[in-house]
Amino acid sequence: MENKYRKDFPFFKAIDENEAGENKGLIYFDTAATAQRPFIVLNAMTHFYATENANPLRGLYSLSERATMAYENARDTVAKFINAREAAEIVFTRNASESLNLVAYSWGLNNLKEGDEICVSIMEHHSNIVPWQMVCKKTGAKLVFLECDKETGIISDEEIASKIGPRTKIVSIVHVSNVLGVTNPVKKLGEAAHAVGAIFIVDGAQSAPHMKVDVQEINADFFAMSGHKLCGPMGIGALYGKRALLEEMEPFLRGGEMIEYVTREKATWAEVPHKFEAGTVSAGDAVGMAAAIRYIQSIGLENIEKHDAELACRIIEGMKNIPHINIIGPKDGNKRCGIVTFTVDGVHPHDVATLLSEEHIAIRAGHHCAQPLGQYLEQTATARASLYFYNTEEEADIFLEKLSHLREWSGYKD
């Protein structure tokens, strides 16, 4: 079946028209790491740098004012995308990792003390573990892990009740696991956090590109996201934070643009959100991120979610018919958010990725920046195919056909 969106991407258009050079015939199954970019995003960034390029926010001439307007319009687009109450609740960062670090440094270090607890899940990306380890080390707080069912990835109500309690001050949870593909019950987890007076943080790096997110509906205090995973440029992300919390927080970075007034003795800060955006901002990337959001909205998040599930189901059902393939996490493609993680008996995941690369299929292999989950599942490494709306049934079938030969290519006689 033809995929009408592929022509929107220079990467896929070149492949489909046999003009891809080194990428000729490539099947790209690594969107969970980074998505490809459509023409509309690249054109928006080119237009900004060609016609609106000036340092935003401080200039009093018309070109700088246009650059400022483009930057702030991008902020408004992000705010509406996740249903923030106002654009001022959106802080531009480099990526979701920086967003989480901002909260750890600006809120965590200033509000936690010895005996307090920070609750995360065992399936977190390192970006939602390492900053909290730092906070615990500096404050004497304790890091507590919610464990999931090893087969389904589900965090039980009993686990939530036993781990989130009176000492919990922060609950920081990944919305969609980048390994298991499961969608965590963030609304329920947020309610548990708020019931004990804790703040609730959601890592939305994998969820925002694949499903409709409403930060008010899930009542997140903070929500982190990256532009490059939703067809935007690398080097731009966003942190949503409730205004009352952002107002009381100290800046994470200090310097130009984020100040109100500076004397020899002290400085005062600009209004939210600008007090968190030190230095010259990445306005062109913000414009690109906004263009990417508008593009995927034009496709429809509900259509993207449906397509991801159908393709994941096709691959998982096909895997079930191939001997020696082990699916890691849920066996239902409808619960994978387009992420299919697996191992092959006797073939190291790195070799799986290398052999498939020789067949012009790009997947990821390793610990996926989630080593505690790998240790919990007793898997030092896994292979991962991650899908998006620009992938096709034909690609899925080719992938499965090549997968069926991996053990043979590795010297096994099944």
By the 8 A CB rule, do 67 and 279 touch? no
Residue 231 among the catalytic residues: no
Give whole-number Cα distances, 206 to 174, 225, 229, 230, in Å.
8, 8, 7, 9
3-state secondary structure the chain: CCCCCHHHCHHHHHHHCCCCHHHCCCEECECCCCCCCCHHHHHHHHHHHHHCCCCCCCCCCHHHHHHHHHHHHHHHHHHHHCCCCCHHHEEEECCHHHHHHHHHHHHHHHHCCCCCEEEEECCCCHHHCHHHHHHHHHHCCEEEEECCCCCCCCCCHHHHHHHCCCCEEEEEEECECCCCCCECCHHHHHHHHHHCCCEEEEECCCCCCCCCCCCCCCCCCEEEEECHHHCCCCCCEEEEECHHHHHHCCCCCCCCCCEEEECCCCEEECCCCHHHCCCCCCHHHHHHHHHHHHHHHHHCHHHHHHHHHHHHHHHHHHHCCCCCEEEECCCCHHHCCCEEEEEECCECHHHHHHHHHHCCEECEEECCCCHHHHHHHCCCCEEEEECCCCCCHHHHHHHHHHHCCHHHHCCCCC
- Please name the CATH architecture into which domain 6-30+301-409 falls: Alpha-Beta Complex (3.90)
Number of Cβ within a 10 Å radius of residue 218: 21
Rounded CA gap, 350 and 371, in Å?
16
Q: How many CB atoms lie within 10 A of CB 395?
A: 20
42-297 maps to CATH 3.90.1580.10:
no
By DSSP bridging, strand 237-241 and strand 222-226 are antiparallel
Closest CA relative to residue 84, chosen from 314, 246, 265 = 246
Domain ranges, ordered by start, for the chain: 6-30+301-409, 42-297
| pLDDT at res. 414 | 74
Task: Give, rounded to a whole angstrom, the gap between the first and last alpha carbons of the chain.
Answer: 33
What is the reported pLDDT for 3? Answer: 87
Residues 6+ apart with CB under 8 A from 155: 121, 146, 147, 148, 149, 184, 185, 189
Q: Give me the pLDDT at residue 98, please.
A: 98
Q: Using CA atoms, how far apart are residues 226 and 269, in angstroms rounded to an integer?
A: 26
Residues of the chain scoring pLDDT < 50: 1
Residue 38 CB coordination number (10 Å): 25
Residue 344 CA, distance from chain mean position: 27
Q: What are the C-alpha distances in Å from 403 to residues 106, 255, 365?
A: 46, 52, 14
